[in-house]
Amino acid sequence: MNAINGLRRNDQPIYLDYQATTPMDPRVLEAMMPYFTTKFGNPHSRSHSYGWEAEEAVEKARAQIARLIGGDEKEVIFTSGATESNNLAIKGVAHFYKDRRNHIVTLVTEHKCVLDTCRHLEQEGFEVTYLPVQQNGLVDLEQLRAAITDKTVLVSVMAVNNEIGVIQPLKEIGALCREKGAFFHTDAAQAVGKIPLDVQEMNIDLMSISGHKIYGPKGIGALYVRRKPRVRLVALIDGGGQERGFRSGTLPTPLCVGLGEACEIAMKEMESEATQLRKLRDRFLKGIQAQLPDTYVNGDMEQRIPGNLNISFAYVEGESLIMGIKSLSVSSGSACTSASLEPSYVLRALGVEEELAHTSLRIGFGRFTTEHEVDTAVDDIVRHVSRLRQMSPLWEMVQEGVDLKSIQWSAH
């Protein structure tokens, strides 16, 4: 239980919530530090070397991001994070083309900020189709094809789901959008640096990127905006006209540098990291399934990033389990809505029954997860699930052979 790269102290729980946020890679922090101290200039200051060195750093970062996704650096716009990127992409395109096309297609399992933005656009008079997903969490391409009309301006489908880690068929969706003349936006906050992405090959027109999901800093993100064929946007934030007018505001140089460095590291290490994470994940799952009956993985196991599992531990309520496994930091449902009692809308969309949805945990592995941590986590979870099942009236009934569905539950 030694501190990993100085990231974790012995008294801290084991962090298994890498889809909520990732620790910063020490190399990223190192790259950022000079821009907090000696190289503190405003990158938009044109009149002195403080400004120039900051600008140079920002442009280097822009190129690092572009390289990771196969885009051109001129196509990368810095934002304050994936939430802003998603808001800008969807509202920006919708508002710019509203006189010609007013229909948007998205999925019911998108991140809250995509869904909320779409709902807001509906209030403004846009039409939005929220497509269901299949039981494995993936979009049905035929349904998608049928949903896109000649009024569709934008198809927004996330690359990787934040709760269940499934990877949507981006290349196929991109081809479909190109064929139908709709722009393709993908929220790739959970995908960048985890799986190979290529905006050319996948015909992605807009891509949202987050810093803190890829071992970079919080408060920075990016939006890829294709130039050929050109995608146009109405800006969300106006002012100094920075970022080609798409996004005004002083660029936070250290954060830009951090995001760039995080992309650079991901580019070099993505492949080996994926292998390592797959190993850890399989070890975890094997450990759980060998010791606990009635556990179910939600979402496709093949089309899935290696660092994610979402497991239902039947007959044990998720929050009580989290309270028990104090030495582990995991999440039930999505972190953004963790204070609410509603079961995850993503699991519901997969057709996971509500009683099972309430028993689900999201477990995220990442760059600094060790084998030892995985083993400790398995032991802890097995112990607490067993204890809570002993306490569970549902488990007792099932052991007695009662069919839970035959019971008239009081609606509460």
Partner 1 sequence: MMTLRAYLDHNATTPMRPQAIAAMGEVMREVGNASSVHAFGRAMRAQVDRARTSIAALVGAAAADLVFTSGGTEANNTVLQAAGRRRLIASAVEHDSVRLAADGIVPAPVNGDGVIDLGALQRLLAASDEPALVSVMLANNETGVIQPVAAAARIAHAAGAVVHCDAVQAAGKLEIDMAALGADYLTVSAHKLGGPQGVGAIALRPGVAFAPMLRGGGQERGRRAGTENVAGIVGFGVAAKIALRELPRMAALAAWRDKMERSLAQLAPDAHVFGCGAARLPNTTCVAMPGVAATTQLMALDLAGIAVSAGAACSSGKVRPSHVLAAMGASDADCASALRISLGWTTQADDIERLVAAWGDLNRRLSPANRPAAA
Partner 2 sequence: MSYSEKLLDHYENPRNIGSLDKTAEDVGTGLVGAPACGDVMKLQIKVSADGLIEDAKFKTFGCGSAIASSSLVTEWVKGKTLDEAGTIKNTDIARHLALPPVKIHCSVLAEDAIKAAIADYRAKAEKKVTEAGEAAGEQAAAAE
| Catalytic center residues | 336
- The H or E element containing residue 194 is none
| 254 torsion bin: left (phi>0), alpha (psi -120 to 50), beta (else) | alpha
- Token code pair at residue 1: 């239980």
Residue 117: both structure tokens together: 């933005």
Residue 169: CA atoms inside 13 Å, Cβ hemisphere, count? 14
Based on CB atoms, which residue is closest to partner 2, 154 or 357?
Answer: 357
The reply to whether 248 sits near partner 1 by the rule CB under 8 A is yes
- Letters for 339-378 (x = contact with partner 2 by CB under 8 A, - = none) are xxx-x---------xxx--x--------------------
Residue 290 binds which of partner 1, partner 2, none (CB < 5-8 A, kind-dependent): none
Contact 222, 83 (CB under 8 A): no
User: Tell me, what amino acid is at 276?
Assistant: Q
C-beta of 297: minimal distance to partner 1 in Å? Answer: 21
Q: Which is nearer to partner 2, 78 or 315 (CB)?
A: 315
Detail the DSSP E strand segments found in 118-197: 127-131, 152-156, 183-187
Q: Does residue 383 belong to the site contacting partner 2 (CB under 8 A)?
A: no
Among partner 1, partner 2, none, the one that 391 touches (CB under a kind-dependent 5 to 8 A) is partner 2
- Contact letters (x/-) for partner 2, 317-336, by CB under 8 A? x-xx--xx------------
Q: Is 188 in the site for partner 1 (CB under 8 A)?
A: no
Q: Does 406 bind partner 2 (CB under 8 A)?
A: no
Q: How many whole angstroms from its chain centre is CA 305?
A: 11
Q: Which is closer to partner 1, CB of 145 or CB of 244?
A: 244
φ, ψ for residue 355, nearest 5 deg: -65, -30
Pairing of strands 103-107, 152-156: parallel
Q: Is 304 in the site for partner 1 (CB under 8 A)?
A: no
Q: Which residues bind partner 2 (CB under 8 A)?
A: 315-317, 319-320, 323-324, 339-341, 343, 353-355, 358, 390-396, 404, 409-412
